[in-house]
Structure 1
Amino acid sequence: MFAYSQFLAKLPYPTSDFTGQTVIVTGANTGLGLEAARHFVRLNVAKVIIAVRTASKGEAAVKEIVRTTEADPSRLEVWPLDLSSFDSIKAFAQRAQSLERLDAVVQNAGILTQNWKVEEGMESHITVNVISPILLGLLLLPKLRESGKAYGKVGRLSFVGSDLQYLAKFQEKSADRPLLEALNNKDKTDMGDRYNVSKLLLLYAVRSIARLSPVTPDSPVIINCLTPGACTSDIFRDDTSWSQKIIMGVAMKIVARTTEAGSRTLVHAAGPDVGVGTHGKFLMNCQVYPNGPNVESDEGKALEERFGKELVQKLEEIRPGIYEDMF
């Protein structure tokens, strides 16, 4: 599957028409997010919101997009968003309510590191790659629904996952205590597997909220999860091990797609033509792919249900009433 995806799969060049639409891209100052934002501008989007932790980097991205597309700079806005801060997420979502419309959200920002760090009381991968994007997605869902009904369009809420979820060993799954508690045990964490686990948990969460929010006239929003495959990017920027950076850098040179090619998967998943058939699905190479045994096995199904219940409780602690308000 990996060899076919990386070397043989042909990813269609984006051609969908985004005229009049507003799209949010998190982590759009670099890599896949930047290239996706560039595509959105080329495809006539009315506004792209570059959601980034550092405003100056977002402004640099805007200049780069304008330089290469000759777009009107007013079509791009930089909004602060720090996925390691729940307050930042809440403020961002509140600001988004003032938008005239919101048609698509691409949850691209994330981290990959070998270093243990705690953010908002949880190990950073779990906070930044799982809890925060789901929190943001739920808080933006009402605006996506409102816009879909007002403009006769189906909104799109897309999460960037990874095919590494297929390889997640997830040793914490056998813990006789809550998963989130087990995932927060530094002494028993395999950091080499943690990114994979975070992307598996993200898929669990996306599937869960998709089931709770089916595509209907009152909720015209497609929710999906995609993998861009292995791409040249700076995702290893958070890892301070130079030897690992060099090794991974060489490996990526051999097997990786270009960042632009990988970004096509983001644009496809959040495109106006993506189709209701992708709702709650895992996408690879711009098409629905099997979820794999970590999801579809009896054990996987039980883990998804177990984690889903814990996530609901966690999100209710962060923002009381969030599930009642959204569903």
Structure 2
Amino acid sequence: MAGMLTYFPSFIYSQLFETPPVPTTDFTGQTVIVTGSNQGLGFEAARHFARLGANLILACRTVSKAEAAKADIEKTTGSKTIQVWELDLSRYDSVKAFAKRVQGLERLDAIVENAGISTMKFAEAEGNEATITTNVVSTFLLALLVLPKLRESAKKFNIVPHLTIVSSEVHFFTTFPESQADDIFAELNDPKKARMWDRYNVSKAMEVLICRELTELLASPTSSRKPFVILNFLNPGFCHSELANELGMPVKVLKALLARTTEVGSRTLVNAVEAGKDSHGMFLSNSKVTPVASWVTSEYGIKAQKKLWKQFAPILEKIQPGILVNI
């Protein structure tokens, strides 16, 4: 709560006075994947990519909704290079099948991992609480599975691809107390201990910590060890979307007063793919490199980051043996 109160003034200022720029980069000939792109931020970001000429893949759980989104985007942009691929982050077999299909692409310039859930109800998916499965485990399972294609494309086409994770400023609103448990995932998966009111914040904090750890493990912009891929993670701001539908009246009132339009928020997703090498490993807010929450870089946060990765890496390896070699 203290973190939320401290951050609130800058949040208000950001919402009222900082508007992300309209994307202008020409993506003609580039292949871009946007997950969760049949509605909300992903949908409007996909529209921007299509408008700018990208060969676009809409990765969505419900194909019929994605087909409707495709038709809408085609109508408004004139794009003829949009595909719909099924991707359900609540099922690891779906993630692995999707990633296998990605390997068959001629090239991949960017993947924007936007899909996620926010819920106050405890439910399980693949043995974890569903928010953790979707927002954390499957998000990074997909990230590591597509890294080889991104690196292959970097080498073959002399490009610098992007792996972009849509995170959130809500990591400022938690301190991830579950990181103090002996087994972080067991703590998160215990329905008797689940703090669901904070779960979305925690999932986004975990994304931030894992992105920071991966940045340390991946090749740097100046390294010749492997073809370079930009990994960045972003905050789209507080936007009108369906993500917070389960939250109460105070959030709805706040939305009415402060929320950005979905289109304005979606610009940040595209801006992150427009960003250069200086965005590698960085948190982008309002389309600018911005410091993460102070607790993340404190001794407490660094210990939590290392501990989380130590426990998370074997989980990924169990789901897909050999995946850690991709790093």
Instruction: Give the TM-score category using the shorter length.
Output: over 0.9
Q: Cα offset for 1:294? A: 2.6
Seen in structure 2, the aligned counterparts of structure 1 residues 285 and 64 have a Cα distance that, compared at 3 Å, is: same
Give the Cα separation in 2 of the matches to 1:233 and 1:245.
14
2:136 is matched with 130
Deviations 1:155-198 (A, max 9, x none): 000000010001114232332x2111111111111111010000
Give the Cα separation in 2 of the matches to 1:63 and 1:155.
27
Give the Cα separation in 1 of the matches to 2:35 and 2:295.
27
CA contact (8 A) 2:53 2:79 kept: no
User: Is residue 259 of structure 2 the alignment partner of residue 229 of structure 1?
Assistant: no
How much is the aligned-residue C-alpha RMSD, in angstroms? 1.2
2:266 is matched with 263
Select 1:147's aligned residue among 141, 153, 159.
Answer: 153
Q: Cα offset for 1:245? A: 5.0
Letter aligned with residue 16 of structure 1: T
Select 1:193's aligned residue among 190, 194, 198.
Answer: 198
2:75 is matched with 67
CA contact (8 A) 1:161 1:226 kept: yes
Deviations 1:13-66 (A, max 9, x none): 100111110000000000000000000011111x11000001000000001101
Letter aligned with residue 61 of structure 1: A
Deviations 1:263-316 (A, max 9, x none): 111001112xx1111111111011111112231111011000000111111101
Structure 1, unpaired ranges of 5+ = none
Deviations 1:193-252 (A, max 9, x none): 010000000111111122211234532210011010100011134x3xxxx455433321
2:4 is matched with none
Give the Cα separation in 2 of the matches to 1:270 and 1:15.
11
TM-score (norm 1): 0.94
User: Is residue 209 of structure 2 the alignment partner of residue 204 of structure 1?
Assistant: yes
Letter aligned with residue 266 of structure 1: L
Give the Cα separation in 2 of the matches to 1:191 and 1:294.
21
1:107 is matched with 113
Give the Cα separation in 2 of the matches to 1:250 and 1:67.
33
1:289 is matched with 290
Letter aligned with residue 249 of structure 1: K
Structure 2, unpaired ranges of 5+ = 1-9
Letter aligned with residue 71 of structure 2: K
2:16 is matched with 7
Q: How does 1:309-324 map to 2 (within 5 A)?
A: 309-324=310-325
User: Is residue 26 of structure 2 the alignment partner of residue 17 of structure 1?
Assistant: yes
Give the Cα separation in 1 of the matches to 2:63 and 2:50.
19
User: Is residue 45 of structure 2 the alignment partner of residue 36 of structure 1?
Assistant: yes
Number of residue equivalences: 315
1:52 is matched with 60
Structure 1 range deviating more: 87-96 or 180-189: 180-189
Deviations 1:130-178 (A, max 9, x none): 1111000000000001111111110000000010001114232332x21
CA contact (8 A) 1:169 1:193 kept: no
SS at match of 2:192: helix
SS at match of 1:270: helix
Of all paired residues, the percent bearing the same amino acid is: 47
Q: How does 1:271-310 map to 2 (within 5 A)?
A: 271=274, 274-310=275-311
Seen in structure 2, the aligned counterparts of structure 1 residues 245 and 55 have a Cα distance that, compared at 3 Å, is: farther
Give the Cα separation in 2 of the matches to 1:33 and 1:155.
19
Give the Cα separation in 2 of the matches to 1:153 and 1:253.
42
CA contact (8 A) 2:237 2:285 kept: yes
Moved over 3 A (4+): 244-247
TM-score (norm 2): 0.94
CA contact (8 A) 2:89 2:139 kept: yes
